[in-house]
């Protein structure tokens, strides 16, 4: 039997709930293990922004591609990377998605459509346009999504990429995760446009603002943009308004955000919002949702166990992936 919420099936709604919860619990563990000194290097948390990755990736097929950023764990999990292999990557282990050589900011798994992640702010956007051009030239029925932050929209790469994607009507969706800060810089201090979405006008493409805390709204906006891209009508810029609950990275930068602002956004938690909606509309029961919560906890515990028990890459192993002419 199919239950509808905005025309969406129960199966899809529960899957979106499950994936958002998976990202939340995964990231909570990353914070814990980073602080315990088990995870080396650096990592940027996605807690609070789950509705964006899950809403967008749920509108994609498995063979569509996404390109991600320094804040990419959520994108990877939403597109279907196994949490065990992502956690192992963060631990720098051989069993990681990039054999433990990439780390937190370079998660890639072509089989599920995570084709590239870049720590260079704005760096994935022109590359995503290149991927979309390849799809178009090969007449493949596939769509590309480029995720990036508000800060990235002030890079030259963003502007060149949107221009070319529009001129060539490429099958791509640009998803700006506007969390209002680039490290500690508020968007109002760095961005000339009144709204980020206004920038779509310069490149003659539709611009859509969506509440990133409402996974269903994100899904609907993404589905429309993906559909347009698939039909050969060209790119769309989606500005998803969201907020990161944690600091920029797994460290304390000091106080640069008003306390009441953080509290206000936490009250709009995307997971709680969907959970309440599913319960109020009678689509799912507490028992069903609680059992998904338990499944997630088990899966994240398994990911930690797998990462801890996996082998470290030794020098001979690493050398196999170094390119020498």
Ligand X SMILES: Cc1ncc(C[n+]2csc(CCOP(=O)(O)OP(=O)(O)O)c2C)c(N)n1
Return the SS3 of 323. Answer: coil
Residues 61-80 interacting with ligand X (rule: CB under 6 A)? 70-71
Query: Could you say whether residue 219 binds ligand X (CB under 6 A)?
Result: no
Residues 163 and 221 sit within 8 Å (Cβ to Cβ): no
User: C-alpha angle 123/127/129, rounded to 5°?
Assistant: 125
Q: Strand 236-241 relative to strand 207-211: parallel, antiparallel, unpaired? A: parallel
Looking at beta carbons only, is 135 or 243 nearer to ligand X? 243
**Look-up of token digits 């979309």:** 132
Q: Which of residues 134-153 bind Mg ion (CB under 5 A)?
A: 149-150
DSSP secondary structure code for residue 160 in this structure: H
Query: Least distance to ligand X from the beta carbon of 44, Å?
Result: 6
**Contact status: 310 vs Mg ion (CB under 5 A):** no
Cβ 242 to ligand X shortest distance, Å: 9
Question: Which residue of the chain is nearest ligand X when measured via CB?
Answer: 149
Regarding 223 and contact with ligand X (CB under 6 A), the answer is no
> Binding to ligand X by residue 23, rule CB under 6 A?
no
Q: Which of residues 98-157 bind ligand X (CB under 6 A)?
A: 119-121, 148-152
Spatial neighbors of 9 by CB under 8 A, at least 6 apart, are 2, 3
14, 81, 182, 216: which one binds ligand X (CB under 6 A): 182
Its sign, for the CA torsion 66, 72, 78, 81, is: positive
CB atoms near residue 168 (< 10 Å) = 16
Which of the listed partners (ligand X, Mg ion, none) does 120 bind, with a CB threshold of 5 to 8 Å by partner kind?
A: ligand X
Residues that bind ligand X (CB under 6 A): 70-71, 119-121, 148-152, 177, 179, 181-183, 248
């Amino acid at each position: 039997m199919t239950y509808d919420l905005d025309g969406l099936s129960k199966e899809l709604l529960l899957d979106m709930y499950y994936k958002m919860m998976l990202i939340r619990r995964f990231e909570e563990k990353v914070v814990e293990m980073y602080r315990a000194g088990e995870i080396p290097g650096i990592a940027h948390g996605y807690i609070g922004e789950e509705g964006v990755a899950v809403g967008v990736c749920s509108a994609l097929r498995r063979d569509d591609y996404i390109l991600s950023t320094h804040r990419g764990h959520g994108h990877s999990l939403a597109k279907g990377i196994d949490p065990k292999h992502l956690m192992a990557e963060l631990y720098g282990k051989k069993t990681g998605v990039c054999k433990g050589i990439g780390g937190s900011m370079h998660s890639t798994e072509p089989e599920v459509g995570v084709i590239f992640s870049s720590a260079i702010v704005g760096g994935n956007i022109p590359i995503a346009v290149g991927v979309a051009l390849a799809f178009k030239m090969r007449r493949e029925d596939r769509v590309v999504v480029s995720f990036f932050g508000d800060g990235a929209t002030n890079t030259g790469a963003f502007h060149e990429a949107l221009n070319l994607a529009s001129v060539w009507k490429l099958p791509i969706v640009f998803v700006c995760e506007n969390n209002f800060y680039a490290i500690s810089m508020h968007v109002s201090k760095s961005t000339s446009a009144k709204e980020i979405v206004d920038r779509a006008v310069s490149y003659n493409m539709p611009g859509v603002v969506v509440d990133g805390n409402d996974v269903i709204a994100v899904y609907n906006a993404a589905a429309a943009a993906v559909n347009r891209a698939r039909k050969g009508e060209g790119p769309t810029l989606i500005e998803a308004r969201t907020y990161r609950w944690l600091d920029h990275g797994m460290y304390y930068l000091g106080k640069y955000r008003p306390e009441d602002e953080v509290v206000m956004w936490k009250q709009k938690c995307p997971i709680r919002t969907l959970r309440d909606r599913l319960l109020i509309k009678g689509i799912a029961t507490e028992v069903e949702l609680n059992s998904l919560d338990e499944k997630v906890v088990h899966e994240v515990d398994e990911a930690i166990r797998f990462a801890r028990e996996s082998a470290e890459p030794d020098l001979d192993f690493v050398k196999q992936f170094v390119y020498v002419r």
